[in-house]
Amino acid sequence: MLARLRAHPGVRLLADHVTALSDAPTGAVAHTETERIAARWIFDSRLDPRALHQSPGRVLLWQHFHGLRLRIDDGPAFDPACPIYMDLRAHDPEALAFLHVLSEGPAQALIYRIEIGPHARVHARELDDDLQNILGLRRWQVLDHERGILPMTDQRFARRVGPSTLRIGNAGGRLKASSGYALTRILADNRAIAASLARRGHPFDLPREHASLRLLDGVLLEIIGRDPPLGAALLAGLFARCDAPTILRFLDEEVGLREILRIMMAMPHKPLLAWTGLRRALAWLRRPRAMALPASRPAQIRQ
């Protein structure tokens, strides 16, 4: 992708540190350590840590992930036609823990251990234990690895932070609160931005957030934060009672109100869900405006 961008005559790639953004009569200016770059529009994906905060009616948890791309030495163990999503046999009493397994061939796979919660951590020995005790692997070679942290929150993020500046990506709230997924939301947002530019001549005519989806995200996050084993039980009940296409559409936010209600009815512990949802709906009605922050501070959180 970078090679294609470098070859495009209308693209200039610059590796520099953006120290500030400012408005200009004809657009906006990005100030770096070496130059000033003027543009009609600026799309800012830097996530400012000051935008993440605990507040009444909002939930902030952290997703810690550790991924390995590995090849096994003792015969085929993976089915490339059958990815494993949220294997809840992974366990941690202080966090919601699960595995993802994406097979790249019978003897090679990308495997993640993920933990979500206020005290979540992922250690290498835990992933090694999962490989042996859950997936039944004995010997493997690590080809590559990845480790990181993502914020999971139902708070609102300001998108337009200047006459010509739009926050995008995680900084624009594109990470789905209850799953930590962002790619499909970012791609959909990119299409909406391009359509707005073509139709309106500016990038700000974007679809409104789906309030019921954000409410359900907040309910799940609150329960996971308060009682991780109960959060695991809720998800296990959902997967057992709801078909996979509906769950995947929910993760991609391609469901309507009727399907959202079906998802909620498929979960166990309905009185707890209803009470938590009512309390969060009242908090939603009393919500403050989205926090608009200056765009001059660089992101400190790995994305």
Instruction: For 111-165, write each residue's pLDDT tens digit.
Output: 999 999 887 888 888 999 999 999 999 999 999 999 999 999 988 889 999 999 9
Between strands 108-117 and 96-105, the pairing is antiparallel
Given 81, 116, 151, which residue is the final one in a domain?
Answer: 151
Q: Is 32 inside any structural domain? A: no
Q: 160: which strand partners?
A: 166
The pLDDT of residue 300? 36
Are residues 158 and 146 part of one domain? Answer: no
Are residues 124 and 200 part of one domain? Answer: no
Q: Is 228 inside any structural domain? A: yes
pLDDT tens over the chain, length 303 residues:
888 988 999 899 999 999 999 999 999 999 999 999 999 999 999 998 777 877 767 889 999 999 999 999 887 889 999 999 999 999 888 899 999 999 999 999 999 999 998 878 888 889 999 999 999 999 999 999 999 999 999 888 899 999 999 999 999 999 998 888 899 899 999 999 999 999 999 999 999 888 778 878 888 888 898 889 888 988 888 888 888 888 888 888 888 888 888 887 887 776 666 767 666 666 656 655 544 444 434 333 333
Q: Is 28 inside any structural domain? A: no
- Which CATH number does the domain housing residue 77 bear? 3.30.9.10
Write out the two tokens for 198: 């073509």
The pLDDT of residue 288? 54
Are residues 255 and 177 part of one domain? Answer: yes
Q: Is 261 inside any structural domain? A: yes
Range of the domain at 70: 60-151
Q: Is 245 inside any structural domain? A: yes
The pLDDT of residue 161? 94
d(CA 168, CA 193): 10
d(CA 141, CA 73): 7
The pLDDT of residue 56? 67
Q: 152: which strand partners?
A: 61
Given 134, 151, 168, which residue is the final one in a domain?
Answer: 151
Are residues 123 and 246 part of one domain? Answer: no
Are residues 191 and 101 part of one domain? Answer: no
The pLDDT of residue 281? 65
Are residues 163 and 102 part of one domain? Answer: no
d(CA 64, CA 79): 26
The reported pTM is 0.81
Write out the two tokens for 289: 């405006």
The pLDDT of residue 290? 46
Are residues 258 and 168 part of one domain? Answer: yes
Are residues 238 and 210 part of one domain? Answer: yes
Are residues 257 and 183 part of one domain? Answer: yes
The number of folded domains in the chain is 2
Classify residue 9 as exposed, middle or buried by CB count within 10 Å of its CB (0-12, 13-18, 19+): exposed
The pLDDT of residue 69? 97
Are residues 279 and 180 part of one domain? Answer: yes
The pLDDT of residue 283? 62
Are residues 258 and 112 part of one domain? Answer: no
Q: Is 14 inside any structural domain? A: no
Q: Is 6 inside any structural domain? A: no
> In angstroms, what is the C-alpha Rg of the chain?
21
d(CA 36, CA 61): 37
CA-closest candidate to residue 171, choices 16, 303, 18, 65 = 303
The pLDDT of residue 299? 35
Are residues 159 and 103 part of one domain? Answer: no
Q: Is 15 inside any structural domain? A: no
Given 96, 121, 151, which residue is the final one in a domain?
Answer: 151
Cβ partners under 8 Å of residue 278, min gap 6: none
How many CB atoms neighbour CB 258 within 10 A? 8
